[in-house]
Amino acid sequence: MSTALCRVQLLTLEKDSAIMRFPIPSTGVNACALSWRPPPELSARAKDLTTKGDITEIEAWQLIAPSATSITVSSSMDELDYDTLSYSTLPVRGELLGVLDLTARPNSTTVEFACPSGADSLVVEMRCQRVACHVSFMQIRMQPSFGFELVRRRE
């Protein structure tokens, strides 16, 4: 994440999801993946994660353009204003990057995909496939770390 603190919620009753921006790692081959690492079971951070329902299939969609229904949204995904987003102004989905199982240990990773070129970040919509799915946590950069991350294969 580009910020040190991020409240992440995935709530799916029909329409809810979370939009996340990941900085693109600068070194490595042109192969990226999204990764989820749960908090260690015996860590004090385990209480920072709240889940309900089926969290075994969380879709990760690349967002490729601002919403076509709003002319006030910036034309660049790097300049997207997260404070003005609503379900009716969600950015346009592109490729399904993969599906993550948030119950997997020690982690869950999508299949590799081409790292975005010409951009500073990758903007992704995380969406539960199942109705009544809920994931909530604080993505704070501290040890032990947990949460979502964009990773790039090393050379």
pLDDT digits (tens, 9 = 90+) for 23-81: 888 888 889 999 999 888 888 878 888 888 889 999 999 988 776 654 444 456 766 77
Q: Which of 49, 153, 30 is nearest to 105 (CA)?
A: 49
Q: DSSP assignment, residue 27?
A: S
Q: Which two tokens stand for residue 146?
A: 């947990």
SS3 6: strand
pLDDT digits 0-9 by tens, 71-103:
444 456 766 777 777 777 778 888 999 999 999
Q: What is the residue range of 70's domain?
A: 5-152
Neighbours of 65 (CB within 10 A): 15
pLDDT digits 0-9 by tens, 11-28:
443 456 888 888 888 888
Task: Supply the pTM of this predicted model.
Answer: 0.80
First to last CA, the chain: 23
CATH number for the domain that contains residue 126: 2.60.120
What is the spatial distance between Cα 115 and Cα 151, in angstroms, rounded to a whole number?
A: 9
